[in-house]
């Protein structure tokens, strides 16, 4: 029987990790990810899990050690945020190229500078091209579920791609909510055992990991990585369906809220979607056909699903919790490009909000809808919500 606990998002993720019971966890603390590592370290200290924990001296070494561990053939996890992820950056790419199914919760935090410990999505965006699967969660329940889902997905032989599970710093990681925790046995059966393809520790069949890969084959290896992500895209519905069977909770590429007849659509990721849903409800009460799309999957980017969901709508407003300096905001530009093939292109507008943890209020989220309804969207103008203009 699943148990309902009132816990923080960080605790929820730590429970998912406990149930996944990885062979190795190597991690380094950084606000707001720290409680995940602390909870998990306590599980180890109390003998609740027999995972080998490597308390490394930096995130760079965390990612390096998990690469060594996963290459050795062990199920391996870590977690980080913002500056920690940035310090790992080089090895984040290498982990993906070495096709190691590492699962890494990212507690989204503003990537300096100046230094700021609160939530935005600049860290997730910074690694969007690194070759990892990126799952996005609105709340603690989703962070818990997606951590388990990510493990199953990443380890599939045709996928073998590491996965990040994003949850918003403080709002999700430190906020206490009711979270339904599955039975340990159920999770254990669901994730099963990982059978590594090329374990380094197979001393009877010595292999070489991480060679110098010059112009004659590097391109091909990257094409293979692309295939891994294509396969992840194909496998996701299956894994989601399997998870629904054990949990009763339904996931998809996109969380569609009141979208059946929606004319004005907001696209937003993670925790702000809760506020946006509230705003959609308010607009609906006034008879306005508002709707919301919140991607659960950012990479592989569900382009087809966006196209299907948005084709023919009156207007789309895309909210990004980070800027892409000198370019269009990341989610906006992806959604916009998905609409290139639309038969009836909606009006579209870009809104940047909530940088460095700035509060997101319902009043703020009404603005994009109002501008959309007034026909005032400009696809070439980035607008800011809550900025001291």
Instruction: Please pick, from the candidates 98, 269, 279, 280, the single residue that binds other proteins as defined by CB under 8 A.
Output: 98
Q: Least distance (Å) from other proteins to the CB of residue 237?
A: 23
Q: Binding of other proteins at residue 46 (CB under 8 A)? A: no
Q: Binding of other proteins at residue 60 (CB under 8 A)? A: yes
Considering only CA atoms, which of 55, 20, 23 is closest in space to residue 37?
55
Q: Binding of other proteins at residue 87 (CB under 8 A)? A: no
Q: Binding of other proteins at residue 270 (CB under 8 A)? A: no
Place of tokens 């990612």: 63
Considering only CA atoms, which of 87, 77, 141, 133 is closest in space to residue 109?
87
Draw the binding track, 211-240, toward other proteins (x: CB under 8 A; -: no contact).
xxxx-xx-xxx-xx--xx------------
Q: Binding of other proteins at residue 4 (CB under 8 A)? A: no
What span, in angstroms and rounded, lies between the C-alpha atoms of 350 and 378? 8
Alpha-carbon distances of 147 from 29, 78, 292, 348, rounded to whole Å: 19, 11, 24, 33
Q: Between residues 54 and 136, which has the closer beta carbon with respect to other proteins?
A: 54
Q: Binding of other proteins at residue 89 (CB under 8 A)? A: no
Q: Between residues 208 and 380, which has the closer beta carbon with respect to other proteins?
A: 208
Q: Binding of other proteins at residue 85 (CB under 8 A)? A: no
Q: Between residues 220 and 341, which has the closer beta carbon with respect to other proteins?
A: 220
Q: Binding of other proteins at residue 256 (CB under 8 A)? A: no
Q: Binding of other proteins at residue 201 (CB under 8 A)? A: yes
Angle (CA) 79 46 88, round 5°: 15
Burial of 204-229, coded b for 16+ CB within 10 Å and e otherwise, reads: eeeeeeeeeeeeeeeeeeeeebeebb
Residues within window 133-172 making contact with other proteins, judged by CB under 8 A = 160
Q: Binding of other proteins at residue 242 (CB under 8 A)? A: no
Q: Between residues 196 and 368, which has the closer beta carbon with respect to other proteins?
A: 196
Instruction: Please pick, from the candidates 48, 207, 241, 363, the single residue that binds other proteins as defined by CB under 8 A.
Output: 207
From the CA atom positions of the chain, what is the Rg in Å? 21
Q: Binding of other proteins at residue 199 (CB under 8 A)? A: yes
Verify cis geometry, omega within 30 degrees of 0, for the bond prior to 373. Answer: no
Q: Binding of other proteins at residue 74 (CB under 8 A)? A: yes
Q: Binding of other proteins at residue 252 (CB under 8 A)? A: no
What span, in angstroms and rounded, lies between the C-alpha atoms of 354 and 1? 38
Q: Residue count at the site for other proteins (CB under 8 A)?
A: 61
Q: Least distance (Å) from other proteins to the CB of residue 50?
A: 7
Residues within window 313-352 making contact with other proteins, judged by CB under 8 A = none
Q: Binding of other proteins at residue 112 (CB under 8 A)? A: no
Alpha-carbon distances of 358 from 212, 241, 276, rounded to whole Å: 45, 36, 15
Q: Binding of other proteins at residue 261 (CB under 8 A)? A: no
Strand 315-320: give its sheet, edge to edge: 254-257, 290-295, 264-267, 315-320, 347-353, 382-385
Burial of 351-384, coded b for 16+ CB within 10 Å and e otherwise, reads: bbbbbbbbebeeebbebbbebbbeeebeeeebbe
Residues that bind other proteins (CB under 8 A): 23-24, 26, 50-52, 54-58, 60-62, 64-74, 76, 90-91, 94, 97-100, 160, 193, 197-204, 206-214, 216-217, 219-221, 223-224, 227-228
């Amino acid at each position: 029987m699943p148990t309902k606990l009132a816990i923080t998002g960080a605790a929820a993720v730590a429970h998912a990790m406990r149930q996944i019971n990885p062979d190795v966890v190597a991690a380094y603390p950084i606000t707001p990810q720290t409680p995940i590592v602390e909870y998990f370290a306590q599980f180890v200290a109390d003998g609740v899990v027999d995972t080998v924990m490597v308390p490394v001296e930096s995130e760079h070494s965390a990612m390096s050690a998990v690469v060594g561990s996963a290459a050795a053939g062990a199920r391996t996890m870590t977690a980080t945020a913002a500056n920690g992820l940035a310090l790992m950056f080089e090895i984040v790419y290498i982990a993906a190229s070495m096709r190691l199914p590492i699962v890494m919760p990212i507690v989204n935090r503003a990537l300096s500078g100046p230094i700021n410990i609160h939530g935005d999505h600049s860290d997730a965006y910074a690694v969007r091209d690194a070759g990892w699967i990126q799952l996005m969660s609105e709340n603690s329940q989703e962070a818990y579920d997606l951590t388990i889902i990510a493990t199953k997905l990443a380890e599939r032989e045709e996928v073998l791609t590491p996965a990040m599970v994003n949850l918003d710093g403080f709002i999700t990681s430190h906020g206490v909510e009711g979270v339904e925790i599955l039975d340990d046995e159920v999770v254990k059966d669901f994730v099963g055992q990982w059978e590594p393809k090329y374990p380094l520790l197979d001393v009877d069949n010595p292999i070489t990991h991480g060679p110098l890969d010059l112009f004659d084959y590097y391109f091909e290896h990257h094409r293979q990585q692309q295939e891994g992500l294509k396969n992840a895209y194909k496998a996701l519905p299956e894994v989601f369906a399997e998870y629904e069977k054990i949990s009763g909770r339904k996931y998809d590429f996109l969380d569609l809220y009141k979208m059946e007849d929606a004319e004005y659509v907001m696209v937003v990721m993670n925790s702000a979607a809760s506020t946006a849903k509230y705003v959609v409800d308010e607009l609906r009460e006034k008879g306005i056909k508002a709707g919301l799309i919140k991607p659960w999957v950012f990479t592989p980017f569900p382009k087809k699903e966006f196209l299907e969901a948005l084709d023919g709508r009156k207007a789309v407003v895309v909210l990004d919790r980070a800027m892409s300096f000198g370019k269009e905001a990341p989610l906006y530009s992806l959604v916009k490009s998905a609409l290139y093939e639309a038969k009836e292109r909606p009006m579209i507008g870009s809104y940047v909000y909530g940088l460095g943890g700035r509060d997101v209020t319902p009043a703020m989220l009404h603005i994009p809808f109002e501008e959309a309804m007034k026909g005032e969207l400009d696809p070439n103008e980035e607008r800011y919500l809550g900025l001291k203009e």
